Amino acid sequence: MVELIKVLWNILLRKSDQTALPNSMFLLFVVFLFYFLSQSISGFTVSETPLVFVRSFFVDAALMIVFLRILTQIFSSQDNYIRTLIALFGTGALFNIIASPLIIRFADILSDNDLMESGDLPIWLPLLFFVIAIWSIMVMGHIFSKSMVKDKLSASPPPISGVAVALLYMMINFLVHSSFLGE
């Protein structure tokens, strides 16, 4: 497990990619569970009801699975599908662990009407969210760009193409959540 966290951390730092991960359905299940548990730290705290969180989580997960399946079909890189899902869910879990204290703190600030009305929102909080969001997009872009390569001998697409795909995924995710879930 420690070795898995090291590999995922190296992916977060973009020193490695999903090819360093085993192609294991069992590991995918374990990482998905870890992803759910890490997201539930802040999800149950911030969401209106537990049902809203669970529904939102599974819509996110299903959207990621389908989006990645389409992406790997388009680029004929289905061999990387399981590894890429492990990388996305695993790095997502690490991001959740990093961001959860900030999310919970931000939710506390938003619930304090006096603080919101006075405009005394601490500047460091949105800046940290911004840094984490940019980092997350860069990591997702790194993972997506590697998932668009059929094998190690193929020419790798430029990293900006992975970032563009990550932004496209985030836009689709936002549209799904705002249109269908009303969030």
Each residue of 25-74: pLDDT tens digit? Answer: 999 999 999 999 999 988 888 888 889 899 999 999 999 999 999 999 99
Per-residue pLDDT of 120-159, as tens digits, reads 667 777 788 899 999 999 999 999 998 888 766 556 666 7
Task: Output the CA torsion sign for 160, 164, 170, 171.
Answer: positive
Considering the entire predicted model, what is its pTM? Answer: 0.88
Using CB atoms within 10 Å of the CB of residue 96, give its burial: 0 to 12 exposed, 13 to 18 middle, 19+ buried.
buried
- Axis crossing angle, helix 81-111 with helix 25-46, rounded to the nearest 10: 10
Structural domain containing residue 90? 2-180
Q: Which of 82, 71, 88 has its CA nearest to residue 149?
A: 71
Count: domains in the chain: 1
